[in-house]
Structure formats: structure tokens, C-alpha cells
Amino acid sequence: MKNKTHEAQRLEENYNGGKNWLEWGPYLSERQWGTVREDYSPNGTAWDYFPHDHARSRVYRWGEDGIAGISDSHCAICFSVALWNGNDPILKERLFGMAGGEGNHGEDCKELYYYLDNTPTHSYMKHLYKYPQKAYPYDDLLRTNASRGVEDLEYEILDTGVFDEDRYFDVYTEYAKADEEDILIKMTLHNRGPEAAEITLIPTLWLRNLWSFGRMEGKHNISKNEDTKSYGSVVVEHPKLGKYNLRFQKPDKWLFTQNLTNTEKLYGQPNETPYVKDLFHDAIINNDFSLTDEVNEGTKFAPMYRANIESGKSKEIRLRLSKKSLGKDALEKGFDEIFKERLQESDAFYNQIAQEAPDDLASIQRQALAGMLWTKQYYNIDMYSWMNGDPGQPAPPPERKDGRNSDWMTLNNEDIISMPDKWEYPWYAAWDSAFHCVPMAMVDATFAKNQLILLLREWYMSPSGQVPAYEWAFSDVNPPVQAWAAFRVYEIDKKKTGKGDIDFLKRVFTKLSLNFTWWVNRKDRNDNNVFEGGFLGLDNIGVFDRGSDIPGGGHLEQADGTAWMAMFSLNMLQIGMEIAMVDSTYEDMCTKFFEHFVHISSSLNNIGENWEGSWDEEEGFFYDILALPSEEYIPIKIRSLVGLMTMNAVLVLEKEKLKKLKDFYDRLKWFRNYRIENDLYVVIEDFKEDEDILLSMVPKKRLKKLLEALLDEDEFFSDYGIRALSKVHEKPYTIKIKGESFSIQYAPAESQTGLFGGNSNWRGPIWFPMNFLIVETLKEYHKYYGDDFGAECPTGSGREVDLGTIGNDVRHRLIAIFSKDKNGDRPVNGLHKKRYQDEYFKDLVLFNEYFHGDNGRGVGASHQTGWTGCVAFLIQELE
């Protein structure tokens, strides 16, 4: 085991009950407006009910938001950055973007910001926001995006011209913890423009308002304390968290107000007090401080700093938020030294992870992991309160009783959760979260394990065993990848510590058994081990919406739904075997999941009574089957990840484990012989006594054919990974069902349909979660076959290599999305190459939701360092 870094020791101290280093972190959301939690409309129109234009004036019920912000673990006390360039109509308190119905490809953030560094205890964090000196183009962005169609590119902030001539500020926000609740804050503003420019900095501290909703009594207050020639301070009082002190350099103005809704502005109803949430906007922009000068306390506070910064120069502002009493020199003595120490400790922590990786790859990996940590967010919703309303507040509309998520009354969430993207997707998604946990385990395996356990707890999982999908529709069905992620996290943790956490496996195994049963009971309509599931996270990959009513009154027997369940079975078998090595009572469950896998594999591969099978021998591919009420079965011949998914159901049973699990091994052999004697489909093709066993949903001959398609550069194999839809569909595929035509066409980038809001596209782009699984799959096959089985890579190249080498080739292509090419360009920045060659952009990396199937440019959400953060793990395993 390697020597523990200071950061690793802090992490250990946190989980061993020493100091609570994780009480404070980057838990503040980047968008609370436009979320389902804040939506109290009759018909579930979340974007319209709480728009961006209300956010500065209206109190949130379920959380808070800001830029580069932090909060305690209950989001009770919040801190973030606010700015004004002297030209904007409003302060820049929060990030702006298109709402769901405003963008030509759905919601989209229109800002430039980057997660530069973060340690797992958040002992050091660094964030960069690029703020234009000209007026932020709110109207231009809204108007131009609204005028564009689905076949047009999105209109981004860099397209508006507002960053021309480098007329912007780089705003760095850094945090360093001197202790668990003693946080040093440093903000540095750099003028990158050609001449001096003015800027107002408003670092804001506020208390979340629960008192207005009758949910928290007691004193909530921020009051003026010290006002000296060099610094000022305020005292924060909270009924649950007690007192904190905020020290800061002497400001130009002290601003106090209340975190209360401006009812007069929004609804034409008189305010009870003029001290409302958006008061700072009026005071600063109108240069009218008559109200703020009269008070020395409130529930929202900011020291205000105005600066005229010369071209190429910078200004630094220091603050310190602490539970401790602070001395007069708290912003001076030891301040620089603590920042220096925490940065050095962060360097040491990440250098140990990067090992010998080249500098650029190490930087990509570090930014990916920093993004994973920055996108940890406080998430709160209690379905009973949300459905029935709060004391003293208007009752929710009656339509809510039968509306969105009304059948999830047992759900009650209040936790710090890894989010896909804190602006575009500031809510958890079940299968995203599972993928997040794999790279997260590289830096904080305990957090990763707790995340996987969390979504299986009683206040998340339904009594029937369903895992909640996401807040827009908790009942939607996401792929069941939790068991896969759990074992992967277990392996990463075991490799680091030298000891496997069997208790963790037992906890997830018990709950996932309930989830498995839910799948079997709810998604196997004909009791034939062929599964449905709906869209299964792959949004618009089908010729029609797979999650809605199916044309012709039929239903889909889904190749990927069935493959996911086969993979789920093997993942559960794998976990069960690991537990059974120390607790033999789990061998029975191993047998259960092995036999499930055999039945599922048989159904997908075989033609049985009244079942046409999913495999097309002539075309060498698995397809979805449309089953009509007339018992007619129609194959939907789309060559997509749906068919390739079948490869992912693979597991090598190691002979050493089989010898120790005698009861399971005997049953496995009996079951195999029984199926042979009765002329039933046999999964184990190459069985040898006392040797490793390969369990694969795809027989060897069919695997060979699938690999030909997978590695064909004219089909799936892009220079940047595996496409979601084959390029053969550049010519649209059309099918007629009951006289109605449906079609699909290869679209390598943005969606050209309105399915699922139009902001995601599975009809050609490269998606990291599926590519990551394919790399893992090839690695597992190679573990069994070694050099004895391979394929041409690429297809038709004449280069025959083993499957491990192919997996590494895919890994290299995926990493190439973020790496500099021979011209110094990163493919991810394909739309703005020139800007990203700039000195102050060239080392900044964004981790998009998905990527152009032909050129690798980033598409969709710009900060989805959730599952795209898996690139950090790919770099770790690069050969």
C-alpha cells in the first residue's frame, strides 16, 4: 500500500468519526429554478412556473443556488459569488441558460465556467468563471436560440461576440480549509481585456428560508460585528447550526437584506418589508444604498467591493468563514501558507493517482475528478410535504394529487448526492449515479459506496423494489446498473486497501434482490424472460418513443432490456459468489441468479414457441421485436447500441472460486447437463472440469459477427469511440406499422427530433457510459480467451488483435476527445477551436454529456462530469 497523503489521512479521519471534514462542501446547486421540486403548477410546467427571471426575487422552498458556491450539508448557510460589470440589467448571482422550451435543443446553460481543482474532503477547491465586460447578451441568446430549428447548431455565449477582444474577467474562487469548519476564501479577478475595466464583486452569505414555510423556528440572523480600518466581520446565527463568523477585507459597502420574496414585483402584492431577496440588485445598479445603509442585520449579507482593474492586472479579495473566534490577523497570518499547503496536498493526492501519466493526460484526469467532486449537491424533496403543501402556505393545486410522481409518497430525500450536471441536471438520475461512483471511488470509495447504498434505502426505493429514476418521472425505468457499479467500486476499494468490504456487498445485494424481483414481475409481460423497460435511458434511440404507447397496440420485446437483465443477473451472481467465499449461505442465491441468466440468454438467442427470437443470422445482429396483439412479431431492424448491449452480459467464473463454492458448482454442472439432455439452449459452450467458465449471453460465433459491426468505421467505430447508431442509417430506416410510417436517421450530434425534450440524442453520438461498459466487456472476454480469440481492428484493416488490445484501442479513442491533437486542438472544443488555443483557455477541459459521432466535439450538457468523468478511470487503466 502506498504512503497515505495528507488528504487521504483527512478522508480517513472524517469516516472514522474524528473531524467532520465533509460538513462543508460545494453542495450549492447551480440551478434551483425550473426544477420539479420548486414546481407547484397545476400541470407540471416546471420551467414556466419558476423561471430564471423569478430566481433573484423569489424564495426557494427546497434548496438554493449560486456560482462557485458552498454550503453546509443541509444547505442552511450558503455562500457564493455575485458580480456586476456595470452594464448588465441584473447582478450575476446565478448562471443563465435556456429553459426547456426556449432552446432549439432543449435546456442549455449559456455560461463559461470550469472546475479546476477539488479534493475529496473539499480541503482545497478552485473554480473559474469567465465574466464578460460588455452587457451579458440575455435577449440575444433567447431570441437567436428561439429562431433556430432542430437541424441548426445551438447559439452559444462564445458565438455572441461578447468575448471579442478578450473583454472579460477571469474570476477565480478558491477555498482552503484550515479546519473542518474554518474555511479560507480567496477571490481573484483578472482583467483579460485590452484596457482598464470596472467590476463590482459581491461575495454573498445567506440563510436558507425555511421559516416562511413553517419548517424551522428559532433565530435566523446575520449581524454586523466588527468594522475596522482593514477588515469587517459579521456573526451568523442559526437555530440548528449555532454561530459562525465571516471575516472579510474592508468593503466599500455593507449590504444587508432579508431572504424574502419580493411579492410586489412578482405578484403586485405589497411587501411586508422593503428588505427583500433582490434588494442588492436595485441598490447596486441604481447606486441607491439608502435602504441598505439603514440596517446592520438580515438573513442575506454581502460586503461589496468596486474595482477598476488595469489591463492584464488583477485584484484579490479575502474572506474567512469559521465556527471559531477569529483573531485580528485572520486574513493575514498563515492565510497564504494554508492555501499553499492545501494546494501542495492536492498536488500530492492527484500525483499519486496519475502516477506516470503525461502532463496533459494527468491534467485531464484531475479536472475530470475535480468536476466529479464539484458536482456533489444538496438535494431535498419530501413527497408528502410537496404533495400536500406547507403550513401557512396556499394549498397545492388539486391536480397534483393524481399528477407527476403522485405514486411515490414514501420518497423523502435530503442528502448530498453526485449530480449529472449541477445546472442542466441538478437532480439525481439512477443510472447516471451508478456510473459516477466508479471514478468517484478513485478518490473517495466510501462516498461512492454510500451513494450506491443511498438510492436503495427505504426513503428512496419504492416498497415494490423500484429504484427512482429522476424527479421528472420517478417511475421511469433506467437500466439496472447498480449491481455492476457496486462490484466495480468494491474492486477499486479492495485494490486500494487490500481488504474487500463484504458488509457493503451484503447491504447492496439484499436491496438489489428486491429490485431484481421488481424487474421480473413488472417488465417480463409474457413471462418468457424477454424484457421491456421503455426507453431505458437511451432516450430517442428507437424508431418511436419506446417509453410510450407502442404503435399497433403492441409492445416491444427489447434486446437491450433483456441484455440489461442478463447483465444484472451476472452482476448479482458475481456479488453473491464474492460474499459466499466468506458466508456459504449465499451459495443458494448464486444458483438463483445463474439460472436466471441461463433462461434470459436462452430466450434472446433462441426461437421458441410463439417467439421469433431477437437474433438475425443473416445480418449478424440483435434487434428489438414488436409483438402485436395478433401474435405477429416484427423485427425493428435498427443497428444501434440496443443490439450491441447484448455483449455486455459476460462473466468469467474463476476456477479457484468454483472449487471453494462446491454446492453452487455442483448445481451449475447439474443444470447444464439437464439442459443438454433435454435439448435446451446451453449457455456454457466450452465447459471443462476444474477450469474457468465463461458465461456469455452472446455465443462465440455471434460475438464474432457483432465485433465485425462494432469495429467497422463505416458503422460504429468512430475515431473517438463507439457510436450509438450505425452510420448505415445515414440512409433513413423506415418501417410501416398498421399503415403508419416511422423512420430513423443517423444524426451524429444534436438531436433532430423533439423526443425527450430534444436535448439528448442517441442516434449517432458517442456516449461515455455505454463506451465504458464496452471497454469493460472486452476486458472480461480477454480475461477468458487471452490471445486465442480476437478480431480485425478496425474491420477490414487486416490487423488481427486480441480483445484486450481492442479494448485499449477504444480507450485511446475515447481519451482522444479531450487530448490535444497535432495542431494543439482538443476535439471536444470543435466549435470554438480558435478561442481554445488562447493562452487562458488552452488547458481548460469541459466534459460534455455526449460527443459528435464523427469529429468528437462536445454536445449536450457542458459539465456532465458525472458519467463522462469515467474518462479519469480510462486514463488510469491506459496501456
Query: pLDDT per residue over 595-605, tens digit each?
Result: 999 988 887 77
Question: Between the ranges 553-557, 572-576, 671-675, where is the mean pLDDT highest?
Answer: 572-576
Which single residue is written with the C-alpha cell 437500466?
479
Ranges of H-type helices in 289-429:
335-354, 359-374, 383-388
**Phi, psi angles (nearest 5°) of residue 525:** -55, -45
* 100-130 pLDDT tens trace: 999 999 899 999 999 999 999 999 999 999 9
Model confidence band, residue 553 (pLDDT cutoffs 50, 70, 90): confident
Model confidence band, residue 610 (pLDDT cutoffs 50, 70, 90): very low
Q: What is the pLDDT of residue 609?
A: 42
Q: pLDDT: is 674 or 543 the higher one?
A: 674
Amino acid letter, residue 10: R
187-190 own/partner pairs: CB under 8 Å, 24+ apart:
187/81, 187/316, 187/317, 187/318, 187/319, 188/314, 188/315, 188/316, 188/317, 189/307, 189/309, 189/314, 189/315, 189/316, 189/317, 190/309, 190/313, 190/314
Residue 533 pLDDT > 70? no
Model confidence band, residue 738 (pLDDT cutoffs 50, 70, 90): confident
Model confidence band, residue 34 (pLDDT cutoffs 50, 70, 90): very high
* 254-310 pLDDT tens trace: 999 999 999 999 999 999 999 999 999 999 999 999 999 999 999 999 999 999 999
Q: pLDDT: is 878 or 13 the higher one?
A: 13
Q: Which residues of 259-284 are buried (b: 16+ CB within 10 A; e: fewer)?
A: bbbbeebeeeeeeeeebbbbbbbbbb
Q: Is the dihedral of CA 715, 719, 724, 725 positive or negative?
A: negative
Q: Is 307 helix (H, G, I), strand (E, B) or coil?
A: strand
Q: What is the pLDDT of residue 737?
A: 81
Residue 220 pLDDT > 60? yes
Model confidence band, residue 789 (pLDDT cutoffs 50, 70, 90): very high
Q: What is the pLDDT of residue 607?
A: 40
Lowest mean pLDDT across 532-536, 544-548, 560-564, 786-790: 532-536
* 797-817 pLDDT tens trace: 999 999 999 999 999 999 999
Beta strand spans in 229-299 (E): 231-238, 242-249, 253-257, 297-298
Lowest mean pLDDT across 436-450, 636-650, 834-848: 636-650
Q: Is 129 helix (H, G, I), strand (E, B) or coil?
A: strand
Q: What is the pLDDT of residue 634?
A: 82
Cβ neighbours of residue 617 under 8 Å, at least 6 residues apart?
none
Radius of gyration of the chain (CA): 28
Q: Kindly state the cell numbers that stand for 150.
A: 432542430
Q: Kindly state the cell numbers that stand for 516.
A: 431484481
* 372-418 pLDDT tens trace: 999 999 999 999 999 999 998 889 999 999 999 999 999 999 999 99
The whole-number average pLDDT for the span 246-254 is: 98
Output the average pLDDT for the chain. 93
Are the beta carbons of 804 and 779 closer than 8 angstroms? yes
Amino acid letter, residue 454: L
Q: Which of 143, 169, 151, 141 is nearest to 313 (CA)?
A: 169
The two beta strands, 77-81 and 67-72, are: antiparallel
Which single residue is written with the C-alpha cell 466468506?
582
Ranges of H-type helices in 258-382:
263-267, 279-285, 335-354, 359-374
Q: What is the pLDDT of residue 529?
A: 59
Q: Provide DSSP, 642-700.
A: HHHGGGG-EEEE-HHHHHH-HHHHHHHHHHHHHHHHTT---S-SS--TTS-EEEESS-H
Which single residue is written with the C-alpha cell 461512492?
448
Q: What percent of the chain has pLDDT over 70?
A: 95
Residue 523 pLDDT > 60? no
> Using CB atoms within 10 A of its CB, is residue 875 exposed (0-12), middle (13-18) or buried (19+)?
buried
Q: Kindly state the cell numbers that stand for 238.
A: 442559526
The whole-angstrom separation of Cα 174 and Cα 318 is 10
* 641-654 pLDDT tens trace: 989 999 999 999 99
Amino acid letter, residue 169: F
The whole-angstrom separation of Cα 83 and Cα 865 is 26
**Phi, psi angles (nearest 5°) of residue 863:** -125, 40
Q: What is the pLDDT of residue 555?
A: 73
Residue 756 pLDDT > 50? yes
* 311-363 pLDDT tens trace: 999 999 999 999 999 999 999 999 999 999 999 999 999 999 999 899 999 99
